Structure 1
Amino acid sequence: MEQSKITVWQFFVLTLSFMIGTSFFFTPGGLITVAKQDAWIVPLWAGTAAILVSLIWLELSDQHKGLSIIQICIKVVGKPLGGLLALMYISYFIQLAVFITRNMGDFMKQAMMPMSPLSAFHLMFLAISGYAVYKGINIIARSSELLFIIMAVTFIFLVFLGFTQWDWGRFQGIFRMDVWKTMKETRSIFGFPFLESLLFLMLFPFVKNKVKTSFIFAIAIATIMLSFSTFYTIGVLGVTRASHDTYPLFVIAQEIHIGAFFEHMESTVALILLVAIFIKLSIAYYCSVLGICQLFQIQSRLWISLALILLVSGLALGYDNVVENIEFSKKYDFEYTLIYSLAIPLLLLIVTWIRRKSMGESAS
């Protein structure tokens, strides 16, 4: 089992990259379709709710210091039921890796290389992520540090270029949404990307200190950045165009023209997205492998890493097209993720409190 440690900064970068990486590209269009000019408000309440839920995860981790969610399940409710809950979490981590892999494949096939088979993209990325997982969490954290800086600087540069197409008139009709209806129809954003960060319950034991501050701060920054990304998309493309594009930020980059020098910037955006997907996929993949190793007491990650490449790649072909993937996420992702992010952690925390209270009463 790995005994590595990562710094607070590395953990912050991993958390922030995981939450904003792909959501920057996939989330704004769907939000704008539902909430129109008010879509930028949706991430603010979703992020606030995510911070409240994360307090449950942090409290559970604090009650069982040094243990991952897999180990906590077994410790709290015993091997039979705890092993079943652990298997459920492992299956969720694998499913998350499948979603990320398929999103990457759909983007590459639709926007960059339409004649290439999806499996080629899947195997290429999974092989790189599998190698990173085999080398350990330190390698993933250090790679993320470097890639995050490159990704952030490049994205800020592109945002400034995009302001040449900004129009405040595209916000006419703001603050007219039906709040309850909008929350119901955009509930998927609670699952993706915010509640997905529950998998960091696997990584809390690797952080040296200040895990609570770093984690909550990363969620707050991700909330603000996702809100800004949606606001920016509305201002540059407008509601009508943004709501009809699967990757609105990619469209913005395609239309950046400043003289004859700055044009066709979509390849740069594609590079940013691929970097973000690598970071997110590596984290989900690592949690899947680590969970299997902890549950079945396997010392080496090598063969598990290799085997999951084929499993994740095969499962990622389960959707017919990107529309089916989006529809599944919109209709079921929130309810599905809520089981793992709220229901089970809350149950484990309540059982922990009851046991400790009963032990205290017995001792007295």
Structure 2
Amino acid sequence: MGARLARRAAASGCPCCARDTAAFPRARRAAAAHRNQHTRVASDRRSILLCRDPPHSEERTVDSKVAVVAIGGNSLIRDKTHQDLPSQIATVEETCRHIADMIAAGWSMVITHGNGPQVGFALRRNELAAHEVPMTPIDVIGAETQGAIGYMIARALDNELKVRGIARPVAPVITQVRVDRNDPAFRNPTKGIGGFMSKEKALEFAREGWTVREDAGRGWRRMIASPIPLEIIEQDAIRALLEAGFIVVAVGGGGIPVVRDEAGLLKGTIAVIDKDRASSLLASALKAELFLISTAVEKVALNYNKHEQRWLDRLTLSEARRYLAEGHFLAGSMGPKIEAIIAYLEANPRGKALITKPEAIQSALAGQTGTWVTAEA
């Protein structure tokens, strides 16, 4: 009966029916009812099958085998000598091969990513072309880089899945993230953006209203606020795509920072949001089973780069809090990642978090490497 239903679904031309009937053979009545919802629309001499709703959504909960995978900067740009676009694409393709291993193992997921260097490139293009074209505000630059990187990830992952014979659609989502317009971070910008510059150039930016700060030994840099993320505006859309079987790319660069004005309307703001914090917020909202942070190291370490360095296989939530308070995880490196995991586990105690490098994801999921963090031992 199940095989016959799958053949009928495939013959109907609906990829949703065909995929879901194969994945959920027990949901016969739901799939049969779904087939009755098809509407044929004639357009350009073709007959297009439109599905109103994905079948048997009651059997496909978002918190079942769902991961939020936050890929770090090394998953987009390998190093300073490989920053050109072809090199970025090659690095993304390599990362997507490791992510495809998870999908092949049955995971659904949202992939999040950073955009720091890409924002820096866009700012530099702004400066070079300022005499000819209008400047682009930082929130729009965030949207532009989300679109570009989302496209690269979606294309690379779609191609990799096709080569493997896996029929899973990939959808990038431009994502806004709401912050508090009264967040203290706006009064003390601490996040550097763009390239380093001379003091003279920094003073020019200061006259334009930018906060600038000297970084010892490297020059001056523009600083921007990094407020706490409070709400992912497109959260329901991301959830709906997951439930429909899509792999989603979202919350790029921590999301486009927006605030609500007095009328409750959204407005872009000059800020950047930490990618791992925003990814944690999404993983908590989706009640994801796994929050995976991909970074440049295979495991988390205590006393990193010191003589007494010790790699960690496992951490409990209480240990993570204690080691963070003791200063083992520095701001700007492992600190924000541990903070993001703490927030995720506090909101979702049944979840698990994993930190490892992209090429070690498969072996880490098998328990052979990586650092696992759980609420309890």
Whether TM exceeds 0.5 here: the answer is no
Larger Rg: 2
Q: TM-score, normalised by structure 2?
A: 0.20
Q: TM-score, normalised by structure 1?
A: 0.21
Between 1 and 2, higher relative CO (CA 8 Å, sep ≥ 6) is seen in: 1
